[in-house]
Amino acid sequence: MAKKTTSKKETIGKEPNKKVAKDEKEVDLWDRLIDMDRRKATKFIIIGMVIAIIFGTIGLISNSLANNSYDWENYMLHENDLGYWRGEYGYQEFLEKDREIYAQADFLRFQEVIFENIARIGVNFGLICVMIGFIGYSADEDMDPKKRQLSFLLAALIITIVMFSALSTGVTINIG
């Protein structure tokens, strides 16, 4: 009898590939949050805090520029007056510089609207990441029950802050 030889392609084609045959199961968002391990939860908290700090700093800088725009405007107008009275430039150039100073001061006041809203969205996104990390901590079965409760309370506090700051415009927290 002649021995039948088969090629490698035929052998692979006949056997079912076990990697392809595994069940496709949908996992919704809540299950992924509950099954989060500590390392991933810690990453969420750290990344969220960094995002919130960066965007909070942007918001504070924008607010500071808008608040100091009046002082800058007065200083520049005074410098423009001095330059005109010293004879460094004529009346037309003096008026042109005045218009530029007013336009720049208006921009400094208006930029707060744009950057403050962008910063608010960024801070809220960072706080949501921190909240997801604390929810991951509270779902960890290996943690102490007191720590899990504290993590859940911190997540609830953070979502409350996010809700109030997103739905209200003048919310500030003063410590002291």
pTM of the complete model: 0.68
Distances 15 to 5, 10, 19, 61 between C-alpha atoms, Å: 16, 9, 12, 65
**The pLDDT value given to residue 170:** 62
**The pLDDT value given to residue 101:** 96
**The pLDDT value given to residue 172:** 61
Average pLDDT of each block of 10 consecutive residues along the chain (176 residues)?
52 50 59 78 92 94 93 96 93 95 94 90 90 85 84 86 71 61
CB count in 10 Å sphere of residue 59: 19
**The pLDDT value given to residue 95:** 95
Of 146, 163, 71, 59, residue with least CA distance to 111: 59
**The pLDDT value given to residue 4:** 53
| Cβ pair 135, 33 in contact under 8 A | yes
d(CA 98, CA 53): 37
The residues near 80 (Cβ < 8 Å, ≥ 6 apart) are 94, 97, 98, 101
**The pLDDT value given to residue 171:** 56
**The pLDDT value given to residue 163:** 78
